[in-house]
């Protein structure tokens, strides 16, 4: 009898499992900071739908705030249970379209035209991917992001903030730490690694150029020269430091450090830490003290950044597929992007935002943040990892950021010579290309 | 020479045991097959029929309700297998068995989904579980019919379903109570555990997610521990070593500290015993993660402790208690010390209870025999505490091997090891978390989980079976 009961209960479990595949509301994942804004926008969308079609939108819509940094991974863990529309940084494209693609391509001509007309050329390249030999557009950009410099204007003047030398001078004068970083990953070292020669805008650094794994080069003369300067900056008594376990907010607030490199998502915390002393500008330049190879001492470099876009993706085979593109047409329209900037400080992906959006012209910190980001787009590249699922892993997860940090910190004098720096970068380059350390 | 003989004895002993095992196994299978055959041969027509159509034996014996329940089960089971209903696009039924072995063959295209390898693996496990349950029900159906045969032969009336239910609520009430628990264990523990173990034999990682199929790879993930230049091969032994060191010190310091504290508080002459106990118990009253986060903030590089030390002129620069890359032992020792603060009250509380319950006649007998207080302490109190707390000690050691909170909340594994995810204070379990949650390396995570299980299970079995608490179970009764 007990076995009978066991079997009956197991069948019950199986039935419940089958029953779980019920129909839920149309779900949209957005960044937590924008949940309220997009919830309100979807109410407006429903009202517009009623006005245009003469009938109520036929389904419930639920907007959920999520961590956009992990949204793509969460979606892939169980895409059937994932949102119908979700937000992720463009560099997740590779893993989202791997195999037969977990996301649907954009096919609506009006939406494709809006993407084409409203977004900068750099974004158009990184939202496309190839599945089954055909290239499709998979994402709809709506937020842009680049790193900027947050600094304490009590210690650093506007002029000093234009160069790392000026910031270092201010740090020495006040016996402070020049710079705090938010993390040790490949995003945070980009201000050195992606720096370009100020006069020409050139760099020999190549990261998966045109989506090709082999088109990766991190051992050029200028790269080594930049890292040598980085080592000087990180080993200086008042220079930059890896993030402490207290966190960059504490370091800024307690005036341990006087500047911080961060994105728009750090704005609220930076403002809370520095209050009225907070100032924002583009990342500074630096001048090489030592040359390397054909790159001479005195060469000036402009700090670089990854200039990315957050985009909306659509779930493949969503049961609401017929509605999704129309919703995205609305959510990524110029007007909604402008409102999103005002309400949630989301830097629009709209290419002419700096000229056309009234909020950009105001004399507010938010406007300065936006303006600084827009300018940083001139010195940045979108993260080139969306072409293949493995690129992101190779760049961020196989330990190369730590190996670069080892060069910068030069602990134990292990990277005191040019040859040692070059050897370490050869390891880094191999990992970028293959995912493995050289044998 | 003696050692050689001992070794050879051990070897031949092992071989004999192995042979006996297979012999017993063969005999058991033979006996079962014979029993099955005889049951069929000697059973009534109804019993014979129940071998093909479930419930027919009961129906034959006019136990209609019971018979129909069995019949419905069989029909339901075969219906599920033949129809193979799709759940999230993946069939659950007979096709699941094939899918379990292939883990999917359809790569999909831009408009059509690929096979879902993960669901196929999961459904395969579920279906094998269902088959097991069905076989149990099938056997139960034959036994039920055979019991009715025997009842009739004995001149009794076969029991009805109503009588069976009444029996379940009376003399077989333990069966009624245990059945839901067993179902729960199978559904929520056994099947997920099997699923997790099987993942270790696949290439389910960050590159095989979403619409990419994954496959069986045999023992490749386990072999990666011993070869290659990847994280698993380079960091496995250091992390395992630190895990064992941590578990040893975290357990022993808490255990010894707790006992000493309890003895001290319970010592005659100590005033305000309740107050002292309450003070120490306060750390238990607070949620552990709050205590840990508070400690992390206090000890952080620019936290209050460093500020105080610097303002008092005791140090020139902040001490990196939890993230000193130059010397990982700073963080390790700090963690062990914080763990003492968190863990000692538990042992103290438990030991206090034990101390209050040491049979007084033991001390009286010792006193009559002329034992000093010191002798009574070392020959009665300490052995008694050790005897009672051995299972706790073992559980505590195992708990510390898988102690996630302390490490994750205090250091997050820092200080880091350049180039690798596993930091200097990462335990196997926090490393596993990083690999699976941050990196989606489910296969490697599963390998680590299996190894952790083997270590904890072996440590538990060996230490408990050698303990007095196990060997002399009745010693203090």
Q: What is the pLDDT of residues A270-300, one digit of tens each?
A: 999 999 999 999 999 999 999 999 999 999 9
**Measured between CB atoms, does A134 come within 8 Å of chain B?**
yes
Chain A residues near residue B322 by CB distance under 8 angstroms? 245
d(CA A320, CA A112): 19
What pLDDT was estimated at residue B7? 62
8 Å CB contact of A397 and B87: no
Q: How far is B204 from chain A (nearest CA, A)?
A: 11
8 Å CB contact of B140 and A397: no
pLDDT tens digit sequence for A361-395 = 888 898 999 989 989 988 988 888 888 878 988 89
Interface of A with B in 207-236 (CB under 8 A): none
pLDDT tens digit sequence for A118-175 = 998 889 988 999 998 999 999 999 999 899 999 999 999 999 999 999 999 999 999 9
Nearest-Cα residue of chain A relative to residue B70: A4
**Measured between CB atoms, does A101 come within 8 Å of chain B?**
yes
Distances (CA, A) of A151 to A144, A191, A241, A286, A419: 22, 15, 15, 17, 35
Sequence-ordered list of residues with C-beta below 8 angstroms from that of B355, at least 6 positions apart, any chain: B262, B263, B266, B381, B385
d(CA B182, CA B189): 10
d(CA A369, CA A263): 9
Q: How far is A144 from chain B (nearest CA, A)?
A: 24
Instruction: Tell me the average pLDDT across B190-208.
Output: 93
8 Å CB contact of A250 and B209: no
Chain A residues near residue B172 by CB distance under 8 angstroms? 1
**B449 pLDDT exceeds 50?**
yes
d(CA A203, CA A222): 7
What pLDDT was estimated at residue A346? 86
Share of chain A above pLDDT 70, in %: 95
d(CA B243, CA B390): 21
d(CA B459, CA B399): 12
Q: Which residue has the higher pLDDT, B392 or A287?
A: A287
| Residue B43 confidence class, pLDDT cut points 50, 70, 90 | confident
**Measured between CB atoms, does A184 come within 8 Å of chain B?**
yes
**B189 pLDDT exceeds 70?**
yes
Q: Which CATH architecture has domain A148-306+398-434?
A: 3-Layer(aba) Sandwich (3.40)
**Measured between CB atoms, does A411 come within 8 Å of chain B?**
yes
**Measured between CB atoms, does B215 come within 8 Å of chain A?**
no
Residue of B66, B167, B211, B424 for testing the chain A interface, max A β-carbons within 10 Å: B211
Beta carbon pairs, A and B, within 8 Å: 176
| Of the partner residues A8, A246, A403, the one whose CB lies closest to the CB of residue B418 | A403
Distances (CA, A) of A316 to A27, A100, A138, A177, B106: 13, 10, 10, 49, 16
**Measured between CB atoms, does B206 come within 8 Å of chain A?**
yes
If we measure between CA atoms, which residue out of B164, B131, B147 comes closest to residue B50?
A: B147
What letter would DSSP give residue A333? Answer: S
d(CA B43, CA B30): 20
Exposed e or buried b per residue across A228-249, where buried means at least 16 C-beta atoms within 10 angstroms of its C-beta: bbbbbbbbeebbbbbbbbbbbb
**Measured between CB atoms, does B410 come within 8 Å of chain A?**
no
Chain B residues near residue A254 by CB distance under 8 angstroms? 302
Regarding beta strands A278-281 and A179-180, do their DSSP bridges make them parallel or antiparallel, or are they unpaired? unpaired
What pLDDT was estimated at residue A265? 85
Residue A179 host element (H or E): strand A179-180
| Residue B128 confidence class, pLDDT cut points 50, 70, 90 | very high
d(CA B249, CA B400): 9
d(CA A340, CA A346): 6
Interface of B with A in 217-276 (CB under 8 A): 229-231
Interface of B with A in 418-437 (CB under 8 A): 418-421
Q: How far is B212 from chain A (nearest CA, A)?
A: 5
**B1 pLDDT exceeds 70?**
no
8 Å CB contact of A7 and B134: yes
Domain at A17-145+307-381: CATH code: 3.40.190.10
| Residue B473 confidence class, pLDDT cut points 50, 70, 90 | low
| Of the partner residues B107, B303, B414, the one whose CB lies closest to the CB of residue A99 | B107
**Measured between CB atoms, does A245 come within 8 Å of chain B?**
yes
8 Å CB contact of A98 and B211: yes
What pLDDT was estimated at residue B475? 61
ipTM score assigned to the predicted complex: 0.79
Interface of B with A in 41-80 (CB under 8 A): 69-70, 73, 76-77, 80
Nearest-Cα residue of chain B relative to residue A435: B230
What pTM does this model have?
0.81
Question: What is the average pLDDT value for chain A, to the nearest integer?
Answer: 91
Residue B97 host element (H or E): helix B94-102
Q: Which residue has the higher pLDDT, B181 or B268?
A: B181
φ/ψ of A312, rounded to 5, equals -90, 135
**B229 pLDDT exceeds 80?**
no
**Measured between CB atoms, does A237 come within 8 Å of chain B?**
no
d(CA A252, CA A190): 21
| Residue A21 confidence class, pLDDT cut points 50, 70, 90 | very low
8 Å CB contact of A101 and B129: no
Interface of A with B in 327-386 (CB under 8 A): none
Q: How far is B451 from chain A (nearest CA, A)?
A: 23
CB–CB of A123/A354 below 8 Å? Answer: no
Domain with CATH 3.40.190.10 in chain A: 17-145+307-381, 148-306+398-434
**Measured between CB atoms, does B211 come within 8 Å of chain A?**
yes
**B11 pLDDT exceeds 90?**
no
- Domains with residue ranges and CATH for chain B: 21-218 (no CATH), 231-471 (1.10.3720.10)
| Residue A18 confidence class, pLDDT cut points 50, 70, 90 | very low
| Residue B29 confidence class, pLDDT cut points 50, 70, 90 | very high
8 Å CB contact of A76 and B320: no
Q: How far is A298 from chain B (nearest CA, A)?
A: 31
CA of residue A199 relative to chain centroid, distance: 26
If we measure between CA atoms, which residue out of A126, A321, A112 comes closest to residue B111?
A: A321
Long-range Cβ contact pairs of B56-64 (< 8 A, separation 24 or more): B56/B145, B57/B141, B57/B142, B57/B144, B57/B145, B57/B146, B57/B148, B58/B141, B58/B144, B58/B145, B58/B148, B60/B145, B61/B145, B61/B148, B61/B149, B61/B152, B61/B158, B62/B158, B63/B144, B63/B148, B63/B158, B63/B159, B63/B160, B63/B161
**Measured between CB atoms, does A10 come within 8 Å of chain B?**
yes
Interface of A with B in 157-176 (CB under 8 A): none
| Of the partner residues B110, B130, B438, the one whose CB lies closest to the CB of residue A136 | B110
What pLDDT was estimated at residue A19? 45
Share of chain A above pLDDT 90, in %: 71
């Amino acid at each position: 009898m007990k076995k009978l009961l066991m079997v009956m209960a197991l069948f019950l479990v199986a039935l419940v499992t089958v029953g779980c595949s019920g129909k839920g509301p149309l779900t949209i994942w957005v960044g937590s900071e924008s949940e309220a804004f997009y919830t309100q926008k979807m109410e407006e969308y429903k009202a517009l739908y009623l006005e245009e079609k003469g009938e109520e939108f036929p389904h419930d819509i639920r907007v959920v705030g999520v961590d956009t940094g992990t949204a793509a991974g969460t979606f892939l863990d169980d895409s059937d249970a994932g949102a119908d529309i979700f937000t992720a940084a463009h560099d997740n494209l590779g893993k989202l379209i791997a195999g037969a693609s977990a996301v649907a391509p954009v096919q609506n001509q009006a939406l494709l035209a809006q993407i084409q007309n409203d977004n900068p050329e750099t974004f158009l390249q990184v939202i496309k991917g190839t599945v089954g030999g055909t290239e499709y557009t998979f994402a709809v950009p709506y937020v842009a992001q680049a790193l900027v410099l947050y600094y304490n204007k009590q210690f650093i003047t506007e002029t000093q903030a234009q160069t790392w030398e000026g910031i270092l001078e201010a740090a020495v004068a006040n016996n402070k730490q020049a710079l705090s970083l938010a993390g040790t990953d490949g995003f945070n070292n980009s201000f050195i690694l992606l720096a370009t020669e100020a006069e020409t805008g050139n760099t020999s650094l190549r990261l998966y150029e045109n989506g090709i794994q082999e088109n990766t080069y991190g051992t050029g003369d200028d790269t080594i020269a930049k890292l040598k300067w980085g080592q000087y900056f990180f080993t200086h008594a008042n220079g930059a430091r890896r993030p402490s376990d207290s966190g960059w907010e504490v370091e800024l607030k307690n005036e341990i450090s006087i500047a911080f490199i961060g994105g728009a998502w750090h704005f609220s915390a930076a403002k809370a830490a520095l209050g009225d002393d907070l100032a924002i500008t583009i990342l500074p330049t630096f001048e090489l003290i030592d040359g390397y190879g054909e790159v001479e001492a005195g060469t000036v470099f402009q700090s670089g950044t990854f200039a990315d876009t957050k985009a909306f993706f659509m779930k493949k085979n969503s049961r609401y597929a017929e509605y999704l593109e129309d919703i995205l047409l609305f959510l990524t329209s110029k007007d909604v992007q402008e409102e999103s900037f005002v309400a949630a400080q989301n830097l629009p992906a709209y290419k002419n935002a700096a000229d056309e959006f009234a909020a950009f012209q105001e004399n507010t910190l938010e406007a300065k943040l936006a303006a600084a980001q827009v300018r940083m787009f001139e010195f940045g590249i979108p993260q080139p990892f969306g072409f293949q699922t493995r690129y992101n892993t190779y760049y961020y997860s196989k330990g190369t950021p730590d190996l670069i940090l080892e060069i910068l910190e030069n602990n134990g004098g292990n990277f005191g010579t040019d040859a040692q720096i070059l050897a370490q970068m050869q390891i880094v380059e191999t990992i970028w290309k293959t995912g493995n350390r050289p044998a | 020479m003696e050692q050689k003989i001992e070794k050879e004895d051990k070897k031949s002993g092992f071989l004999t045991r192995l042979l006996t095992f297979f012999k017993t196994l063969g005999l058991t299978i033979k006996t079962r097959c014979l029993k099955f055959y005889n049951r069929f041969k000697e059973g009534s027509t109804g019993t014979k029929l129940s071998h093909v159509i479930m419930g027919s034996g009961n129906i034959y014996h006019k136990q209609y309700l019971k018979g129909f329940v069995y019949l419905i089960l069989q029909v339901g089971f075969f219906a599920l297998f033949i129809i193979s209903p799709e759940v999230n696009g993946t069939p659950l039924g007979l096709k699941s068995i094939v899918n379990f072995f292939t883990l999917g063959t359809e790569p999909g295209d831009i408009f059509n989904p690929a096979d879902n390898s993960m669901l196929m693996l999961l459904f395969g496990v579920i279906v094998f579980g269902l088959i097991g349950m069905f076989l149990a029900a099938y056997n139960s159906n034959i036994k039920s019919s055979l019991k009715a045969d025997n009842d009739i032969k004995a001149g009794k009336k076969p029991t009805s379903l109503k009588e069976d239910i009444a029996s379940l609520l009376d003399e077989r009430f333990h069966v009624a109570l245990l059945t839901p628990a067993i179902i729960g264990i199978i559904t929520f523990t056994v099947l997920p555990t099997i699923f997790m173990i099987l993942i270790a034999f696949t290439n389910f990682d960050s590159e095989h997610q979403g619409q990419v199929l994954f496959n069986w790879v045999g023992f490749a993930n386990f072999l990666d521990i011993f070869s290659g230049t990847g994280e698993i091969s380079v960091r496995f032994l250091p992390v395992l070593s630190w895990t064992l060191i941590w578990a040893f010190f975290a357990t022993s310091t808490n255990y010894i500290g707790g006992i000493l504290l309890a003895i001290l508080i319970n010592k005659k002459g100590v005033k305000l015993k309740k107050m002292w106990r309450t003070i120490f118990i306060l750390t238990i009253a607070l949620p552990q993660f709050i205590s840990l986060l508070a400690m992390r903030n206090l000890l952080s590089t620019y936290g209050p402790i460093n500020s105080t030390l610097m303002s008092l002129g005791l140090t020139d620069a902040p001490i990196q208690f939890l993230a000193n890359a130059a010397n990982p032992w700073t963080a390790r020792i700090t963690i062990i010390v914080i763990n003492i603060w968190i863990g000692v009250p538990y042992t103290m509380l438990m030991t206090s209870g034990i101390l209050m319950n040491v049979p007084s006649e033991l001390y009286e007998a010792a006193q009559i025999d002329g034992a000093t207080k010191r002798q009574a302490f070392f020959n009665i109190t300490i052995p008694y505490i050790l005897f009672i707390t051995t299972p706790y000690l073992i559980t505590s050691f195992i708990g510390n091997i898988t102690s996630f909170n302390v490490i994750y909340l205090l250091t997050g594994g820092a200080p880091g090891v350049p180039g690798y995810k596993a930091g200097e204070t990462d335990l196997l379990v926090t490393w596993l978390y990083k690999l699976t949650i941050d990196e989606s390396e489910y296969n490697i995570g599963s390998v680590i989980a299996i190894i952790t299980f083997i270590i904890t299970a072996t440590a538990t079995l060996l230490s408990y079976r050698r303990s007095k608490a196990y060997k002399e179970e009745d010693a203090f009764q």
